[in-house]
Homo-oligomer: A and B are copies of this chain.
Amino acid sequence: MKPEISHRGYEMPSSPIRKLVGAARDAERRGTHVYRLNIGQPDVPTPPQALEALKHIDRKVLEYSPSEGIESLRVKMSEYYSRFGMDISSDEIIVTSGGSEAVLFAFMACLDPGDEIIIPEPAYANYMAFAISAGAVIKSVCADINDGFRLPPVEEFEALITPRTKGILICNPNNPTGYIYSEEELLKIADIVRRHNLFLFSDEVYREFCYTDTPFISAMSLPGIEENVVLIDSVSKRYNECGIRIGAIVTRHKELRANVMKFCQARLSPPLLGQIVAEASIDTPEEYMQYVYDEYFRRRDFLIKRLNEIPGVYSPMPMGAFYTVASLPVEDADHFCKWVLDEFSHNGHTVFMAPASGFYTSPGEGRNQVRLAYVHNIDYLAGALDTLEAALAEYNSKTQKA
């Protein structure tokens, strides 16, 4: 006899990005090379300034940092935001252990069990995990792949609002779709947020990665909802340092900051070493940022063109971030993605994709879709897509025979 785990534990979804990790490892153990398009772990090197800062840490004690983060880092982040026309003081920034902890603490401090938030889908899967952690309920409006995943009509948001609705969450530029919300769309969201006095959680960790002429507009810049916005941020993607676990909650809502700080004090402090690296990263020269940008731009163009050449595959052109959601000529992408890892190889290769069903809460949505990350170089992407094309052909010929 042993004690029972929590119902919450049972309800927690497995990460759609990581749940096939075991199958991928098994494939590698069999000697198959696995192209990893499942996770946003870029192959781009971390900026040399950041790595250099590590080697020059001359502290004798690796001690706790302040619960809100090291002051010099928060001052630097404030300067960074000003480059984007965002007027944010260092006091309005609370450093977290990655954007993940920022989402968790924002939900914990804003939402009670049974409170509702509205999220356009497909959405970053871990929002659901953090909502379950906080006991909150996600209501979703569904973006359509055939519309390029643009914002669903605001009437659909309005229709979901109940007395328990506490907020709307957007990810902009969007993970997993790459969509960037237009000014018109953001003003419509701001209008709902203001009229219903909601929180607007805005995850903007892909701010630097906008490949279109649509200017990126931060929720922090939207008029009339200054104290409603809770910005989620992270240095992970921007400087290719996902492992250092440094993110932030930014809000002008003073009482909310005081409450978030209680959760921060309970966990004592964000990682010290990561903060030192993050602070050095903010000084990364423009050439590095431009190199990374150009690289993703080329990868995106290659990936989307090649995807749409594969019979039955469709991907809209993502405007930002480094993912796309593509539809495949299969009924059940969960089954297909697992099959590819378990049973398929093409010249010794297979491919690891994230089934998109895990990015939807609406049952049945996205069943034929996958999320692909273009965080590897073009040769790698070419190999991965050749493998995907061969896998689809074999899978569908088998299915039709069966």
Chain A residues in the interface with B (C-beta under 8 A)? 1-3, 5-10, 12-15, 17-19, 21, 39, 41-46, 50-51, 54-55, 57, 59-67, 97-98, 100-101, 104, 108-113, 115, 126, 129-130, 133-135, 166-167, 197-199, 227-228, 240-245, 253, 255-256, 259-260, 262-263, 265-274, 277
Among A104, A130, A242, A266, the most chain B Cβ lie within 10 Å of the Cβ of A266
Complex Cα spacing A269 to B133, Å: 17
A21 neighbours in B (Cβ, 8 Å): 66
Query: What CA separation (Å) do A182 and B57 show in the bound complex?
Result: 42
Residues of B within 8 A of A41 (CB): 63-64
Residues from chain B with Cβ under 8 Å of A126 in the complex: 265-268
Distance between A83 CB and nearest chain B CB, rounded to angstroms = 23
Are A1 and B197 interface neighbours, CB within 8 A?
yes
Bound-state Cα–Cα, A197 to B266, Å: 29
Which of chain B's residues have a CB closer than 8 A to the CB of A67? 15, 18
Report B-chain residues with C-beta under 8 Å of the C-beta of A60. 45-46, 51
Chain B residues with CB under 8 Å of A101's CB are 97, 267
Q: How long is the Cα–Cα vector from A50 to B59 in the complex, in angstroms?
A: 11
Please give the distance in Å from A205's CB to the nearest CB on chain B: 12
Q: Please, which residue of chain B has its CB at the minimum distance from the CB of A1?
A: B197
Provide the residues of chain B in CB contact with A273, threshold 8 Å.
54, 243-244, 271, 273-274, 277
- Closest Cβ of chain B: how far from A20's Cβ, in Å? 12
Interfacial chain B residues near A198, Cβ < 8 Å = 3
Interface contact B2-A267, CB-CB below 8 Å: no
Q: In the assembled complex, which residues on chain B have CB atoms less than 8 Å from the CB atom of A134?
A: 8
Main secondary structure of the interface of A (DSSP, over half): loop
Residues on B with beta carbons closer than 8 Å to the beta carbon of A18 = 67, 265
* Contact B9 A262, beta carbon cutoff 8 Å: yes
| A199 nearest in chain B by CB position | B3
CB distance from A97 to the nearest CB of B (A): 5
CB-based nearest B residue for A100: B267
Across the interface, A130 reaches (CB within 8 A) one of B3, B65, B130, B266, namely: B266
Complex interface: chain B residues within 8 A of A43 (CB): 61
Please name the residue on chain B nearest to A45 by beta carbon.
B60
Q: Give every chain B residue within 8 A of A255 (Cβ-Cβ).
A: 5
On chain B, the residues within 8 Å of A113 by CB distance are 113, 135
The reply to whether A61 and B44 contact each other, CB–CB distance below 8 Å, is yes
For the complex, give the distance between the alpha carbons of A133 and B8 in Å. 13
A268 to B108, CA, bound (A): 18
If the complex has contacts A45-B61, A97-B271, are A110 and B12 also in contact, measured as CB distance less than 8 A? no
Chain B residues closer than 8 Å to A6, beta-carbon distance: 108-112, 115, 259
For the complex, give the distance between the alpha carbons of A31 and B369 in Å: 63
Give the contacting residue for A262; candidates B14, B17, B42; CB below 8 A: B14
> Across the two chains, which residue of chain B brings its CB closest to A50?
B62
Contact A274 to B271, CB < 8 A, known contacts A61-B46, A115-B6, A242-B62: yes
Look across to chain B and name the residue whose beta carbon is closest to the beta carbon of A104: B267
Residue of B nearest to A226 (CB): B2
A15–B167 contact, CB under 8 A?
no
Tell me whether A13 and B166 are in contact (CB under 8 A): no
Cβ contacts under 8 Å, A10 to chain B:
259
Asked if residues B108 and A133 are in contact (CB atoms below 8 Å), the reply is yes
Task: With CB as the reference atom, state the residue of chain B lying closest to A266.
Answer: B129
Q: Contact between B42 and A241 (Cβ–Cβ < 8 Å)?
A: no
Within the complex, what minimum Cβ distance (angstroms) separates A266 from chain B?
Answer: 4
